[in-house]
Amino acid sequence: MASTIVDIRQKSTRLRPAIPLTATLRAEWTKLMTVRSTYVLLALSLLLSVAVTALVSWAAGWSWSEWAEADRAAFDPVINSFVGLLLATVLLVALSVGFVTSEYTSGMVRLTLTTTPRRGRVLLAKAGVIAAVTMVAGVIITVATFLTGQAVFAAYDVPTASLGDRDAALAVLATGLTTAVYPVIGVAIGYLLRRTAAAITVTLLLMFAPAFFGPLLPLRWQERVLAYLPGPATDSLAFGHLATDAPMYLERGIAAVVVAAWLVALLGAAYLVLNRRDV
Amino acid sequence: MISARGLTKRYGDKIAVESLTFDVKPGVVTGFLGPNGAGKSTTMRLILGLDAPTAGSVTVNGRAYRDLPAPIQEVGALLDAGAVQRGRSARQHLRWVAQASGIPVRRVDEVLDLVGLSDVAEKRIGTFSLGMLQRLGIATALLGDPPVLMFDEPVNGLDPEGIAWFRNLVKRLAAEERTILISSHLMSEMQEIADRVLVIGRGRLIADASIDDLVRQTGGDAVRVVSPRAAEFVPILEAAGASVMPEQDGSLLVTGIEIADIGALAARHGITLHELSPRRASLEEAFMAITRSSVEYQAKRSRSTAVAIAGREERIDG
């Protein structure tokens, strides 16, 4: 109580140092790590992606003897152990979108923005915290699904890959790190739309639509348009070197630029809207 | 010090506040009064930079809120105590606010203690009652130990004990020379704690005065007279130039005449008095008087909007 009794007149005229960006990052980190849903979604991402990978790998192994020679030759044990990661990405998008939109639902966004009125910082800090958490989670989950897949393949005499192989290790690491791309896009879309369901839907459409509808389009479209959408570009960045003849393949350097451009464009749009809009 | 100059906010073609010009002076408690929907919360959002004004400006200690280097150490605000995420504990909630503002985290326990929430610091906010949420909101406002404080309807949801506690807290904060702005539609509450009042109705400033001036301007003080022969006394008082209002309990509310003259009149006419007491006009009555005149002003322009305001006032009465 005594602490509040100070000379207020002296206090108000004192020059205060500006608050550093690290303060905003620390606050957003605390917010993310003090709600149960964060842990639930992270745990589910790991469990479900490992389970789905195990199931799909088992199905491949079980039917392996009936596969055509050409299909066997085209089988890639690395990429095929990543199937379960789709689920992890969906759950991590739900985590990142909710991290933003739940503040609008509860109204707490007004406290966030009075505490940190430089709104770009809040956006940057939320995106940064989500990127860090989903990169670490992504690498752990990717390694887990990779090892699960290889273990199942080995049990059925299906060809396997090992982390000792440079291309395979690079694919696992890059896939793990690029797991963060959609969650960060989710932060931007969360601020643009402010509604949980709408933002998750739009983010997932952006993610899945090219994969679903792409193969229905002429090859030229796939090469010239779809390859530059965030999903295919992220895939090229993560494991494109394993399948350079795929229609939506981009070279790693180009893919990195395309992914970065998408992130900058979406976060930039979110910044402009957030900065101008009444809360 | 909070200064508004021609502050105007429109949402679409709906005017929320219009041409507000006022200063919330340092070291005093200013009540911010008006019926629900008058624009009090909008004004507070504009002060905090949450909404951008359509025209005009508002500054805190000479700067726009968004330009304050350490905002919640300059202005502490409680807008809507319910607007918090329920999954965290009170301590965790205050911890992120402290971290975001560069406030030492040990300050969290100090403010929890200050508002009496130390025992439930580890409990989920979701389990809190309305009164506890209100205390948490007040703790959040005090976290940065700011020289300027703003509370939007702070006693909503507080029990009588909580209201008394809040009143004491405000007195103590005011004694520390802080600038305090408290919005309320409860006039009686303001009379207890505010030195000055800003009154708004339909987004416009109706009054900016000390409570004493306001009460005096709007009819001043009255005298309560209780007599078994009240009916006989009324014409005598009126003949002496007083105006008399019979109250429901049979007493008379007399204005326009000195209390000593009432006693003298009673003695001269041999009328027994059971009570002769000065009654200070309440802020409530003053408020009703000035908002009524604003309604009349509006009525000249549009009858339907006047009815809407009158309806709002009735709800506040009840």
Chain A: nearest CA to B162, how far in angstroms?
18
What is the rounded average pLDDT for all residues in chain B? Answer: 87
Q: Does A108 touch chain B (CB under 8 A)?
A: yes
Give the model's pLDDT for residue B310. 40
Give the model's pLDDT for residue A242. 86
Beta strands in B95-249 (DSSP E): 148-152, 179-184, 196-201, 204-210, 222-226, 243-246
Mean pLDDT of B165-178: 92
Asked whether the beta carbons of residue B48 and residue A102 sit closer than 8 angstroms, the reply is no
Residue A138 in tokens: 């992504």
Residue the block writes with tokens 């009858």: B303
Q: Is the pLDDT of residue A169 over 80?
A: yes
Provide the pLDDT confidence category of residue A75 given band limits of 50, 70 and 90.
Answer: very high
Question: Can you tell me the distance from the alpha carbon of A53 to that of B286, in angstroms, rounded to the nearest whole number?
Answer: 74
Q: Is A158 left (phi over 0), alpha (psi -120 to 50) or beta?
A: beta
Give the model's pLDDT for residue A78. 95
- Output phi, psi for A71, to 5 deg: -65, -40
User: Which of B25, B41, B48, B85 to probe by mutation at the A interface, max A CB count within 10 Å?
Assistant: B85
Residues 6+ apart with CB under 8 A from B44: B77, B79, B150, B152, B181, B183
Provide the pLDDT confidence category of residue B281 given band limits of 50, 70 and 90.
Answer: low
Per-residue model confidence as pLDDT tens digits over A243-267: 888 888 899 999 999 999 999 999 9
Among the partner-chain residues A3, A110, A115, the one whose CB lies closest to the CB of B101 is A115
3-class secondary structure, B4: strand
Asked whether the beta carbons of residue B177 and residue A8 sit closer than 8 angstroms, the reply is yes
A6-39 as b/e: b if 16+ CB within 10 A: eebeebbeeeeeebeeebbbbbbbbbbebbeebe
Q: Give ipTM to 2 decimals.
A: 0.90
Per DSSP, B125 falls in state: G
Q: Does A37 touch chain B (CB under 8 A)?
A: yes
Query: How many contacts, defined by CB atoms under 8 Å, are there between A and B?
Result: 126
Pairing of strands B148-152, B252-255: unpaired
- Chain B residues close to A8, C-beta within 8 Å: 147, 176-178
Give the model's pLDDT for residue B188. 73
Residue A114's CB: how many other CB atoms inside 10 A?
A: 26
Burial of B160 (0-12, 13-18, 19+ CB in 10 A): exposed
Mean pLDDT of B14-36: 91
Residue B142 in tokens: 């005090």
Asked whether the beta carbons of residue A34 and residue B88 sit closer than 8 angstroms, the reply is yes
- Output phi, psi for B219, to 5 deg: 115, -25
Residue the block writes with tokens 């394993």: A242
Give the model's pLDDT for residue B318. 31
- Chain B: residue nearest A7 by CA? B176
Per DSSP, B124 falls in state: B
Per-residue model confidence as pLDDT tens digits over B86-144: 999 999 999 999 999 999 999 999 999 999 999 999 999 999 999 999 999 999 999 99
Which residue type does B103 have? I
Give the model's pLDDT for residue A15. 57
Q: Work out the end-to-end distance of chain A between its first and last CA atoms, rounded to an integer number of angstroms.
A: 34
Asked whether the beta carbons of residue B145 and residue A4 sit closer than 8 angstroms, the reply is yes
For residue A241, the Cα-to-chain-centroid distance in whole angstroms is: 20
Per-residue model confidence as pLDDT tens digits over B41-98: 999 999 999 999 999 999 999 999 999 999 999 999 999 999 999 999 999 999 999 9
Question: Can you tell me the distance from the alpha carbon of B128 to that of B16, in angstroms, rounded to the nearest whole number?
Answer: 32
Question: Can you tell me the distance from the alpha carbon of A208 to that of A201, in angstroms, rounded to the nearest whole number?
Answer: 10
Percent of chain B at pLDDT > 90 equals 60
Residue the block writes with tokens 């790693």: A252
The residue count of chain B comes to: 318
For the four alpha carbons of A150, A152, A153 and A154, in that order, the dihedral sign comes to: positive
Beta carbons of B67 and B229 less than 8 angstroms apart: no
Q: Taking the model in full, what pTM does it have? A: 0.84
Which residue type does A45 have? S
Per-residue model confidence as pLDDT tens digits over A41-69: 999 999 999 999 999 999 999 999 999 99
